[in-house]
Chain A
Amino acid sequence: MAVESMPSTEATTCPNCEQKEGDHPLFCTGCGHLFPEDEGANHFALFGLTPSFDIDEGELELKLIDISRRFHPDFFATSDAEQQKLSLQYSASLNTAHQVLRDPFERAEYLVQLFGGKQSSEDKSIPEGFLQKTMLLRMKLEEAVEDNDESAIDALNQQVINESEELLRGMSELFERLNNEDGERNSILAQARMDLNATKYIRNLIHDSSGLQRPDA
């Protein structure tokens, strides 16, 4: 996992404790004072990570706890209004970033955006034959639920999971290539866009299938 501490920009002097250097642009590592930010740090930067698809989700959870300690409003309850405002802002940013980064599909979507790829509203293409594949799966699942065929349901669920995992593997490879600048950037991003559009169908299927199997939910 590519983990780096924040690239140091100009050494910030903390206005609160006068400590000269720090390795985080948003807070003083000495006294905890929060600095106002010039432009929104991207989700990865908040966690001190370089943008990449392969991240250790366990590691991410630990970092969430560590960095939360820096921003949590509880620790700024006796500070001035400006610090309290920043604390709320950064905690919200951290939590939002975490929600995106911890989910592989959201993470991939975010990466496409970061690297300048198209949004789903701008490019709705999906891989050849994918739509038919999903529709067939959906139909078979509905039948299996109606027939109360436990083993068929299990098998189909497994198929859906396999599809999903295959897409994720593909995503991982694509972003690897993007990082290594192996191939034409725009075409890699276009492929990623297409695969991401496909994952939406799969996710809908997973969501709906659990709904089918829990009709009273």
Chain B
Amino acid sequence: MALVTIEDLTSAAKAHKEAVVGIDLGTTFSLAAYVDGDEPEVIRDEDGQVLVPSVVSFTDENAVIVGWPARERGLLDPEHTVFSVKRLIGRGQDDLAKDLGLLPYQVEDAERKLVRIKIRENRLTPQEVSAEILKEVKNRAEKVLDRKVTKTVITVPAYFDDTQRQATRDAGRIAGLDVLRIINEPTAASLAYGLNSKKKGIVAVFDLGGGTFDISILRIANGVFQVLSTLGDTFLGGDDFDRALMDLATAEMKDEHSEDTVRIPVVLQALKQAAEKTKIELTSADTATLSIQLSDPEISYEREVSRSEFNDLIGALVEKTIEFCKTAINDARLTPDRIEEVVMVGGSTRIPLVREKVEEFFGRPLHTELNPDEVVALGAAIQAQILSGGFREMMVLDVTPLSLGLETFGGAMSKLIMRNSPIPTRASEQFTTFVDDQTSVDIHVLQGEREMAEDCRSLGKWKLTDIPPMPANGPKITVTFTLDANGVLKVDAKEDRSGKELSIEVQPSSGLTDEEVERMVKESIEHAKQDVENRQRIDLRNEIDSIRRATVKALEQSQNVCPAELLRTVNYALSDLLAAAELEDIHELQKAIDGFNEASEPLAKLQMDAVAKTALQEAES
């Protein structure tokens, strides 16, 4: 009879008790948090790291690397290292035209208006790349919490439209997550801000992240977090400040280099990294050096940038955020003086000019005591806890950021649900047919504030089918549009005279169809094992390389004290090890490493003794 240890029992129990985790899927960094007892906490790995760079790098052997190591590969393999994928998710080709020229990795037009990222022979959607980031965050969380993590709350910019929200949810599914809620980032931040404090009043959350900007005005009272208005720009963030510096550099580089040189992927990547570094330095220093150095000595650039010069470059962008604040306050039927607290969220709120202008506008000190990188994840964890039945006194009342409507004859946009309407919400519209026995009707659903449909964001075409055959103008079709608590749209249609529920086929404008997502989820599961192996293979090969460097050095140093026999043994063992590095099988790789360590142990011992001896001699003298 096999004995079951106490350890087995507790780990089984732990595995069954799932943690619901909040995930901030950011443009530049991602992280997770969970609620332990009464307080939300960010998930920190054994090295104390919280943030995972939202960077995914794909090696020649189709291994997927995520996070800091992926970031480091940026200069090594710029064409296959994807960063800021949040700027692509849920977007159509038309939205991205401006930015694509400066990306070192290749983005292509695909079916419908999707974009895909070209990674060697693969064409990946932003959803799939984002799923890799989510998988990494999930794996880290599982390791730290020692529990399975599937149920999550994922955050999105408040100004994300329906397509972007769905795409984020799809990314979660592909990563094997059960996304319980998509929550708006400023709202999440307000939860972290307002938790436990008897804070009440009108609060403005100014959220300037790596790629997106949101301003939300909320009323906090008695545990209720009620969003009054929200506004933003999903293409305004730290990346644009980097871009301003990159534009400065490329303009000046064109004096000495050709347009083509400047667009070489590795140059673009180097410029991006340099710009980011300079921007960060200028937060605490008055001047910083913007420079790139590549392996090709011909291509270089260096220049001092002062903070005031940087302020001039980004001034217009910062002003834009202030304009948004004005409008949002107006939409909330308030005036700036009625705002009692201002909370700063997102890494880009560290920039001195941003703080200065925001403080100036609101005329009061800003709340910067919460870590702007972590507060959104903490809020997501609180929301996760609410969904699990905790924090019962707290309630989130959010709004939809964009008006929703339909295209009418003549190409106008007819609004059915106004922006800043509290969600969940619903609206209906009546339709009929034009031809006898017409069995289907198409509707074109849009989001946005403009008058003409073509200036608004197309969510897609909904085809209502199975209309009972009737003479033209006979059917009375009521179409109901419901926005759920995620701010995501659901459409239902019914023919009133017959009482028949109609079937709906959705053709998303730039999102994935359900079938496509299903397929990706399956593929993801199939590849999961392979992905883990690929990663392990890379780690082991890196280890072999470290061993090689250390051993070569050790052999040099020990030449005089090491017996010739031992030197020979270790040299042979090393060549065996290096030959083994070509192997694919990870078990073989591990065996080779273990074998080498065994063979070289006498050398290691010799080294240790020598070091001890030297230390002793020095101590004695």
The interface of chain A, by Cβ under 8 A from chain B, is 65, 68-69, 72-75, 77-78, 88, 91-93, 95-96, 98-99
**Nearest Cβ distance between residue B352 and chain A, in whole angstroms?**
29
Cβ of A68 and Cβ of B397 under 8 Å apart?
Answer: yes
Interface centre among A74, A78, A93, A99 (most CB of B within 10 A): A74
Which residue of chain B has the shortest Cβ distance to A217 in the bound complex?
A: B327
Which residue of chain A has the shortest Cβ distance to B387 in the bound complex?
A: A77
> Chain A residues near B181 (CB, 8 Å)?
74, 77
CA distance A98 to B425 in the complex (A): 10
Cβ of B395 and Cβ of A88 under 8 Å apart?
Answer: no
Cβ of B396 and Cβ of A74 under 8 Å apart?
Answer: yes
**Nearest Cβ distance between residue A122 and chain B, in whole angstroms?**
15
Cβ of A88 and Cβ of B482 under 8 Å apart?
Answer: yes
Cβ of B426 and Cβ of A74 under 8 Å apart?
Answer: no
User: Does B332 count as interface, using CB distance less than 8 angstroms?
Assistant: no
User: Chain B interface residue count: which class?
Assistant: 20 to 34
> Chain A residues near B389 (CB, 8 Å)?
78
User: Does B224 count as interface, using CB distance less than 8 angstroms?
Assistant: yes
User: Does B421 count as interface, using CB distance less than 8 angstroms?
Assistant: yes
CA distance A99 to B180 in the complex (A): 27
User: Does B102 count as interface, using CB distance less than 8 angstroms?
Assistant: no
CA distance A68 to B424 in the complex (A): 10
Cβ of A77 and Cβ of B388 under 8 Å apart?
Answer: yes
Cβ of A74 and Cβ of B484 under 8 Å apart?
Answer: no
CA distance A69 to B423 in the complex (A): 13
CA distance A88 to B489 in the complex (A): 12
Cβ of B395 and Cβ of A74 under 8 Å apart?
Answer: yes
**Nearest Cβ distance between residue A51 and chain B, in whole angstroms?**
21
User: Does B540 count as interface, using CB distance less than 8 angstroms?
Assistant: no
Cβ of A95 and Cβ of B388 under 8 Å apart?
Answer: no
CA distance A99 to B400 in the complex (A): 14
**Nearest Cβ distance between residue B335 and chain A, in whole angstroms?**
15
Given contacts A77-B180, A77-B387, A78-B389, contact A95 B224 (CB under 8 A): no
> Chain B residues near A73 (CB, 8 Å)?
424, 484-485
Cβ of B421 and Cβ of A93 under 8 Å apart?
Answer: no
Quick one: CB contact mask for B476-498 with A, threshold 8 Å, 1 for yes?
00000011110000000000000
> Chain B residues near A74 (CB, 8 Å)?
181, 383, 386-387, 395-396, 485
Which residue of chain A has the shortest Cβ distance to B151 in the bound complex?
A: A77
CA distance A77 to B425 in the complex (A): 18
Q: List the 6 shortest-distance A-B pairs measured between CB atoms, nearest first.
A: A92-B426, A77-B387, A92-B424, A91-B424, A73-B485, A95-B422
CA distance A74 to B485 in the complex (A): 8
Given contacts A65-B224, A88-B482, A88-B484, contact A98 B422 (CB under 8 A): yes
Cβ of B224 and Cβ of A92 under 8 Å apart?
Answer: no
Q: List 27 A-B contacts (CB under 8 A).
A: A65-B395, A65-B397, A68-B395, A72-B395, A74-B181, A74-B383, A74-B395, A74-B485, A75-B392, A77-B181, A77-B387, A78-B389, A88-B424, A91-B424, A91-B485, A92-B426, A92-B482, A92-B483, A93-B426, A95-B422, A95-B424, A95-B426, A96-B425, A96-B426, A96-B427, A99-B422, A99-B425
**Nearest Cβ distance between residue B429 and chain A, in whole angstroms?**
14
Cβ of B423 and Cβ of A95 under 8 Å apart?
Answer: yes
> Chain A residues near B423 (CB, 8 Å)?
95
CA distance A73 to B396 in the complex (A): 10
Quick one: CB contact mask for B382-394 with A, threshold 8 Å, 1 for yes?
0100111100100
